[in-house]
Amino acid sequence: MSEIPETGREIRGAGVSPQALDDWFAREVLPLEPQLMQFLHHNWRNKADIADLRQDVYVRIYEAAQKQIPSPARPFVFAVARNLLIDRLRKAQVVPIEAVADVDILGFASDAPNPERSLAARDELRRLQGALERLAPRCREAFVLGRIQGLSRTEIAARMGVSEDTVTEHLTKGMRALANILYGDDHGRTP
Amino acid sequence: MSEAFETGAMEIEARAAAWLERRNFGRWSEEDEAGLDAWLAGSPAHRVAFVRLSTAWERAGRMAALAPEIPAQSVPPFRVTGPFLFRIAAVFAVLAVIAAGAIAYLEAPRERTYSTAIGGRELVKFADGSRIELNTNTVLRARMTTSERVVWLDHGEAYFEIKHDAAHPFVVMAGAHRVTDMGTKFRMRRDKGRLQVSVVQGRVTFDTPDSGKLSPLEVLTPGDVAVATAKSVSVRRESAQDLTDQLSWRQGVLVFDHTTLAQAAAEFNRYNTDKLVIADAQLARRTIGGTFPTNNLEAFIGVTQDLLGLHVKRSAHAIVISR
């Protein structure tokens, strides 16, 4: 017995509900983050700007999708990223515009099946485990106790022998680092 | 606003993490919920940051789903004291056990849940050629495998276009009722203890297995609409036009034809978070006709104001129509 896979989903209708929009964003856009980060790193010299650029790309995508959800997502995501970089460069007035015109989106924007979405369950699990292993030890301990074992903040504090505020700190750091690792930002940005 | 450069993505992410941590681990009151909503509404940058973190959080939680399956004895309790590294090792011992179960769990064909928010609509296509379209505010679970195809309509409305396979019938369960496809297109709507099944093409059988009594097996053909409540099942014939109107939501519109204001308001209220209220019973019986976008309350309100000369009063989440 094997599963009959889904071959596609389309969100219908003009007015997009916030929930549907969030779901779409999580399902279609976030899995592209590794390639998006790669694209940004490839095309932007100042690495300190990357997190802000990523956020601005996401904001532009989200705002556009409120009116109509673009389908397929991938070419749209990279078109937005490219336009954003061009806008930034123009504003910075450091590069003549013609040099910017060919900001490289080749190889990023094709609507090939998204590798992330076809991840086998085993790979997904390995990835989650790998991600957990990369957290700082205390952070990981708090995260595992809280997320996997389902302990409360008070219980985690007691087990780890630290204050609840410290647990909160570990957990929030863990959440942020895990998102970066899961979405494949391998460029060493740990909060 | 797109120019979030000055806002600082890292600061926003930190705020989003703080909200998420509080929602999962802190005391969470209605005021907190309202505070979070306000923060999210404040900027799309806030919203995307929050969606991103909470999605990663959910993914990590897939492993948590397996924790109950861990036999208590074989796992060293977490009350491990001793050197720091030993405690970490204990964490990983648990992770390894989780992992073993998780692989089996994640690889087994499982129920998938599909849902839409109020006003949402989604089409799901399957590799066998079947398609399911979910209307507003619907929850549906599906177990689609090469040996069985079962869907549970928990609530809401869906339109099914099923590739027939005599060896592996497609079955929809709605509470105690069962609809079995025999190569067809049909619509089901389940709300407030009432189930409606309309057949557009082909045939379905309709029955109530496990009800304790011998349940009659109805065979429904195009134009048949079965209505089942806890007490009764009835079947009536409807015209092709009526069937088309029932499915107009697939085009994002509601079609009214001699529809009472009460019914029209109830329909709109399925699609919108701002609720229409018809002030009195006599007014509620007046009828109306026309085609309206499901998500455009204003168009409908405009008609009631201009054509019917009714009064409209708006409050926070309600729109009251009166004479």
Please tell me whether residues A143 and A72 are part of one structural domain.
Answer: no
Residue B35, domain member (yes or no) = yes
d(Cα B323, Cα B280) in Å, to the nearest integer? Answer: 9
Q: Which of A60, A152, A178 is facing B2, going by the closest CB pair?
A: A60
Please tell me whether residues A90 and A125 are part of one structural domain.
Answer: no
Please tell me whether residues B18 and B56 are part of one structural domain.
Answer: yes
Q: How far is B277 from chain A (nearest CA, A)?
A: 22
Nearest to A185 by CA among A48, A50, A91: A50
| B161 SS3 class | strand
Q: pLDDT-based confidence at A166, cuts 50/70/90?
A: very high
Higher-scoring residue by pLDDT: A29, B112: A29
Residue-wise pLDDT for A44-60, tens only, equals: 888 888 999 999 999 99
The predicted model gives A114-141 an average pLDDT of: 70
Q: Would the pLDDT of B13 be above 70?
A: yes
Residue A55, domain member (yes or no) = yes
Question: Which pLDDT score, from 0 to 100, does residue A190 have?
Answer: 39
Residue-wise pLDDT for B175-232, tens only, equals: 889 999 887 899 999 988 899 999 999 999 998 876 655 566 788 999 999 999 888 8
Q: Do A153 and B45 touch (CB under 8 A)?
A: no
Work out how many domains chain B is built from and give that number: 4
DSSP string covering A73-128, please? HHHHHHHHHHHHHHHHHHHHT-S-HHHHTT---TTTSS-PPPTTTT--HHHHHHHH
Q: Is the dihedral of CA A39, A126, A174, B66 positive or negative?
A: positive
Question: Which pLDDT score, from 0 to 100, does residue B30 have?
Answer: 83
Residue A168, domain member (yes or no) = yes
Considering only CB atoms, which chain A residues are within 8 Å of B147? 1
Domain that holds residue B100: 71-108
Residue B100, domain member (yes or no) = yes
Residue B246, domain member (yes or no) = no
Question: Which pLDDT score, from 0 to 100, does residue B131 have?
Answer: 94
Q: pLDDT-based confidence at B98, cuts 50/70/90?
A: low
Q: Would the pLDDT of B100 be above 90?
A: no
Q: Do A17 and B146 touch (CB under 8 A)?
A: no
Residue A1, domain member (yes or no) = no
Question: Which pLDDT score, from 0 to 100, does residue B6 have?
Answer: 44
Considering only CB atoms, which chain A residues are within 8 Å of B64? 147-150
d(Cα B109, Cα B126) in Å, to the nearest integer? Answer: 14
CATH code for position A175: 1.10.10.10
Please tell me whether residues B299 and B183 are part of one structural domain.
Answer: no
Q: How many CB atoms lie within 10 A of CB A154?
A: 11
Considering only CB atoms, which chain A residues are within 8 Å of B51? 22, 25-26, 30
Please tell me whether residues B45 and B91 are part of one structural domain.
Answer: no
Domain that holds residue A55: 18-100
Please tell me whether residues A24 and A66 are part of one structural domain.
Answer: yes
Residue-wise pLDDT for B48-87, tens only, equals: 999 999 989 888 876 655 433 322 222 333 444 555 556 5
Residue A81, domain member (yes or no) = yes
Q: Do B119 and A15 touch (CB under 8 A)?
A: yes
A6 interfacial to chain B (CB closer than 8 Å): yes
Residue-wise pLDDT for B137-154, tens only, equals: 899 999 998 888 999 999
Question: Which pLDDT score, from 0 to 100, does residue B71 have?
Answer: 27
Residue B247, domain member (yes or no) = no
Residue-wise pLDDT for B286-307, tens only, equals: 988 888 888 888 888 888 887 7
Which of A100, A132, A158 is the last residue in one of the domains? A100
Please tell me whether residues B95 and B179 are part of one structural domain.
Answer: no
The long-range contacts involving A33-37, CB below 8 angstroms and separated by at least 24 positions, are A33/A183, A33/A184, A33/A185, A34/A116, A34/A183, A34/A184, A34/A185, A34/A186, A35/A78, A35/A108, A36/A77, A36/A78, A36/A81, A37/A183, A37/A184, A37/A185, A37/A187
pTM of the model: 0.51
Residue A136, domain member (yes or no) = yes
The predicted model gives A99-120 an average pLDDT of: 50
Please tell me whether residues B151 and B210 are part of one structural domain.
Answer: yes
Work out how many domains chain A is built from and give that number: 2
Please tell me whether residues B168 and B233 are part of one structural domain.
Answer: yes
Please tell me whether residues A96 and A125 are part of one structural domain.
Answer: no
CATH code for position A71: 1.10.1740
d(Cα B57, Cα A155) in Å, to the nearest integer? Answer: 20
Please tell me whether residues A139 and A83 are part of one structural domain.
Answer: no
Question: Which pLDDT score, from 0 to 100, does residue B63 have?
Answer: 61
CATH code for position B125: 2.60.120.1440
Residue A68, domain member (yes or no) = yes
Residue B244, domain member (yes or no) = no
Higher-scoring residue by pLDDT: A176, A70: A176
Which of B179, B211, B239 is the last residue in one of the domains? B239
Residue A175, domain member (yes or no) = yes
Question: Which pLDDT score, from 0 to 100, does residue B92 have?
Answer: 65
Residue B22, domain member (yes or no) = yes
Q: Do A1 and B145 touch (CB under 8 A)?
A: yes
A140 interfacial to chain B (CB closer than 8 Å): yes
Please tell me whether residues B235 and B118 are part of one structural domain.
Answer: yes
Interface ipTM: 0.80
Nearest to B5 by CA among B45, B41, B50: B45
Q: pLDDT-based confidence at B5, cuts 50/70/90?
A: very low
Please tell me whether residues B227 and B264 are part of one structural domain.
Answer: no
